[in-house]
Structure 1
């Protein structure tokens, strides 16, 4: 069943406030193959001019998973999770974030479009990441929904 575009755009998505933990940054940096010691060694980070370990690229995506029900918005739109694929992820960085920062993530659905005669729908969610009211980064994800009942 196609997603109701207007309902999706009006759907309120709760903000998420999280504190960035040094241990999680180290774990994430290692798990994603970061070789620059600035992401895992506090002394190296400080020598590079950072107040603490900086947030590695793409880390913000993992913070969105801190929500009590990170995919609840899909259920609210009657999307069957068995028909969902993670299609795309992108980030725009405005200023660095570091261990110890308290960040607020405010997601919203910004677009829905379809292809193949509505057999595939693409739901675009943007999340603004702020610290003390200042924009730190924007994360955008695209979820692909297969509508099996639509014949191509």
Structure 2
């Protein structure tokens, strides 16, 4: 079933998160980050940071904090069993640190197909802002939906 392009512009449920230093340490370990700046507060402060900085790609995980982080996909009529992760991009405007309260504000910005509809793409852009409204980062993710009933 094709994704209706009329969903372009749809604002999705925002997600609030206060960034926890324990989560940052766990995330740094999970991605294999060995720089102590991301795991040791004293090393971070010695490097000029006020607290542990957020490791690259961590902000993508904010939306995964929701009870059902993929409900927006299901609401579009997409079968999650047919979804592939296509791409993600990050544009950072400033650093985030442990203790920062942030909000992720996602919206669907594009829907298109390739291979005669056998592959559909849903592009979601998320603005991550601090509690004071300052823009931290713009995130973009692309989901690929396989439609095997369509001819390629």
Deviations 1:52-92 (A, max 9, x none): 10000000111110122211111111001110001111100
Matching of residues 138-149 of structure 1 within 5 Å: 138-149=138-149
Matching of residues 81-96 of structure 1 within 5 Å: 81-96=80-95
**Residue 72 of structure 2 aligns with which residue?**
73
**Residue 50 of structure 1 aligns with which residue?**
49
> Can you give the 5+ residue segments of structure 2 that lack an aligned partner in the other structure?
none
TM-score by length of 2: 0.96
Distance 2:8 2:112 in 1: 12
**Residue 137 of structure 2 aligns with which residue?**
137
**Residue 17 of structure 2 aligns with which residue?**
18
**Residue 112 of structure 2 aligns with which residue?**
113
* 1:62 and 2:49 matched: no
Deviations 1:25-55 (A, max 9, x none): 0010111111111000000101111111000
Q: After the TM superposition, which parts of structure 1 deviate over 3 Å for at least 4 consecutive aligned residues?
A: none
Contact 2:9-2:109 at 8 Å conserved across structures: no
Number of aligned positions between the proteins:
151
Structure 1 vs Structure 2 CA RMSD: 0.9
Contact 2:118-2:150 at 8 Å conserved across structures: yes
Distance 1:116 1:40 in 2: 45
Distance 1:71 1:9 in 2: 17
Distance 1:48 1:68 in 2: 36
Deviations 1:95-130 (A, max 9, x none): 000000000000000011111011100100010000
> After alignment, is 114-123 or 10-19 more displaced?
10-19
Distance 2:29 2:49 in 1: 19
TM-score by length of 1: 0.96
> Can you give the 5+ residue segments of structure 1 that lack an aligned partner in the other structure?
none
